[in-house]
Structure 1
Amino acid sequence: MALHVIVGKGPVGTTTAELLAARGHRVRVLSRSGGTSTDTVEHRRVDAADAEALTEAATGAAALYNAVNPAYHRWVTDWPPVASALLTAAERTGAVLVTMSNLYGYGRPTGPMTPESPLAATDTKGQVRVAMWHEALAAHEAGRVRMTEARAADFVGPQVPPAQSHLVRQLATLRRGRRAWVVGDPDVARSWSYLPDVAATLAVLGTDERAPGRAWHVPSSPPRSQRQALADLAGAMGVPPVPVSGIPWPVLSAVGVFSPMMREVVDVRHQFDQEYVLDATATTETFGLTATPWPQVVAATAGAPVASRV
């Protein structure tokens, strides 16, 4: 089977590596810290911003996956050199570049977001993602690389650390029966992308010749508000629902004076004060991928070991 090289060993990179290996592919994971290789997944220590090292590690690969996850407040400084190095490595090796992305580039939505929705972001992080997309697409259209991109909503699933999921971080709160304080309006509908569905989408984009040249949305369950999703999780955990309240934006802004992470959250307030829903119809119609049913997502997420994630 083909060699697939994944850059980044966070939840997305690890889950995708496991899936590709289970399908019989050779898998190599690159990260700054390296890792312990197994019979099915090789780990190498490589800086994602080092084009030469990436090229050497990806030589002979059918696909090169960008599953890098810079610190939230460092996107402006950390993403450009990484994106450039990955493009260079893809061009030099001929591997299709599969980038894991999100919905930030669309800015404030006016309805369900599709891959054809305008990339109208005005916030800093959204503009970073838009610039990355345009640079990669231009290289593709010039015939220098083959590229594609998966865009997902907020992550959910037992594989996701609390810091990377608005739902997983509340599991301990639900278990204790305390009020859940959430970012934004707890009653607006939101899409949630189950991490195994994210990995399944990436794996298809790296192996199907119909994928390059455009972006694809990860099939996700019908939207649920944060209040509804937390009630669902509580039910799956066998505990009563808890009160759910939105943290006032002035409080978040005040915390942001001291917390770079919280400043970035306030900067994308538009993602939390109205419906934030993706449409993955094109992905389903083209590749036959569908979202894992929400009850299964909830059951799996609720079964995450709470004690080890707080």
Structure 2
Amino acid sequence: MTRRVLILGMGGVFGTAAARAFRAAGWDVDRYRRGTDMGISARGARWIVNAMNPPNYHDWAGEIPKITSQVLAAARDSGASVMVPGNVYVYGREPSPWSIKTPHHPCTRKGRVRAEMEERYRAHAEDGHSVVILRSGDFIHPEAANTILNRLMLKDLRKGRITSLGKPEARRTYADLDDLTRVAVRLAETGDAEPGLLDLGFPGTVFSARELAEELSRQMGREIAIKRFPWMALLLASPVWELARELREMRYLYDMSHSIDGSEFSARFPDMTPKTLERIVFEHLYIRGLKVVPDQGRTMSTQTSF
């Protein structure tokens, strides 16, 4: 069976990490170039990994359905299976831990767009095709500059403070991209053995801004303060800055403690354990060239997986 994967959105945060993980596992990785014929690009591919988003966050409601139609048509024509990195927007304010049994009750425009997209993939799976939705919380990776953690939360770390986008005690789920894309590769090995939908939640690493600051303080040997994100300034910017509008729409998630049920994941991958907060902090400090106090990172090594 072919080991060729077509990755859409390979220049993005997930796409970059997925390409690295599939190549490391010996897969032939092809990059889809926006604007070209996706059906032709998908010929001979075993999987289409759809990590493509609208350019510059523009017209989410209009562009996502177009991308979905292209992916479904390419999958039908080529016979490729489809993998999509899913998010938690579809659950809205439903209580967590979220699982496949949690109803989709999106409370934002972006959540509704994603829920409608997933329904189309579900219908495709019901027609006898293989579809995997690998669901997770916010992406994190020490070398990915555009993650919320790097771009906003740790932006002022050298000044001795981090930024909390919501309640500092709210515990949220994060997905380290090394962990998540290794799961994607393992799913690709067997996920197309039987047609249908696999909606798999990745539990990731759950922590609050308060816990993050405490672990940073411990490893750096200095007090790390927490400041609140200036949402009012973002509100003023949102009429002209599309990224600001997208971020503001997701504000509720930063005030809301949440997690993903990991029981199905653990049953499927009993040998895989997501990175600890200690490891995540160490890697982010290491990439920034920030010194860890001797013995505070004693369980760590500078041998990272990226």
Matched, 1:303 2:286: yes
| Count of aligned residue pairs for this structure pair | 284
Deviation at 1:261, TM superposition (A): 2.1
Per-residue deviation, residues 269-294 of structure 1 (Å, max 9, x unmatched): 32112212222221221233331233
Show the counterpart of 2:110: 125
The alignment's TM-score, normalised by the length of structure 1, stands at: 0.83
Hey, what's the Cα distance between the residues in 1 that align with 2:285 and 2:100? Answer: 31
In structure 2, what is the Cα distance between the partners aligned to 1:306 and 1:259? 32
Q: Which residue matches 1:86?
A: 71
Say whether residues 1:203 and 2:185 are aligned partners. Answer: yes
| Correspondence 1:5-20 to 2 at 5 A | 5-9=6-10, 10-20=12-22
Provide the secondary structure at the position in 2 that maps to 1:206.
helix
Matched residue, 2:49:
65
Deviation at 1:168, TM superposition (A): 5.2
Unaligned runs of 5+ in 2: 291-306
**SS, match of residue 265 in structure 1:** helix
Name the structure 2 match of 1:74.
59
**Distance in structure 2 (CA, Å) of the matches to 1:31 and 1:218:** 28
- Which stretches in structure 1 are left out of the alignment for 5+ residues? 33-46
* Offset of residue 132 of structure 1: 0.6
Tell me the percent identity. Answer: 25
Q: Residues 63 and 97 of structure 1 are in contact (CA less than 8 Å); yes or no, is this contact kept in structure 2?
A: yes
In structure 2, distance between residues paired with 1:91 and 1:290: 35
Q: TM-score, normalised by structure 2?
A: 0.84
SS of corresponding position for 2:6: strand
| 1:113 corresponds to | 98
Task: Give the 3-state SS of the residue equivalent to 1:6 in structure 2.
Answer: strand
Q: Distance in 2 between matches of 1:172 and 1:181?
A: 8
Please list the CA deviations of residues 64-100 of structure 1 after superposition, one character each: whole Å capped at 9, or x if unmatched: 1011133345321221111110111111111110011
**What are the superposed Cα offsets for residues 24-45 of structure 1, whole Å, 9 maximum, x if unpaired?**
221112233xxxxxxxxxxxxx
Among 125, 134, 153, the alignment partner of 1:150 is: 134
For 1:153, the aligned partner's letter is G
Name the counterpart of 1:29.
Answer: 31
1:135 aligns with: 120
Residues 142 and 150 in structure 2, CA contact (< 8 A), matched pair in contact too: no
Name the amino acid aligned to 1:256.
S
Query: Residue 231 in 1 paired to residue 233 in 2?
Result: no
Q: Does 1:267 align with 2:252?
A: no
* Deviation for aligned residue 1:255: 3.6
8 Å contact from structure 1 (residues 189, 226) kept in 2 = yes
Match among 242, 258, 261 for residue 276 of structure 1 = 258
CA distance in 1, matches of 2:153, 2:252: 22
Q: Distance in 1 between matches of 2:87 and 2:261?
A: 13
C-alpha contact 1:167 1:226 (8 A) present in aligned 2: no
Shift of 1:167: 4.8
The 3 A distance-change label for structure 1 pair 234 and 124 is: same
Please say if residues 7 and 13 of structure 1, whose CA atoms lie closer than 8 Å, have aligned partners that are also in contact: yes
The residue type paired with residue 62 of structure 1 is R
Q: Give the Å deviation of 1:187.
A: 1.4
Aligned: 1:291 with 2:274? yes
By how many angstroms is 1:240 displaced?
A: 2.0
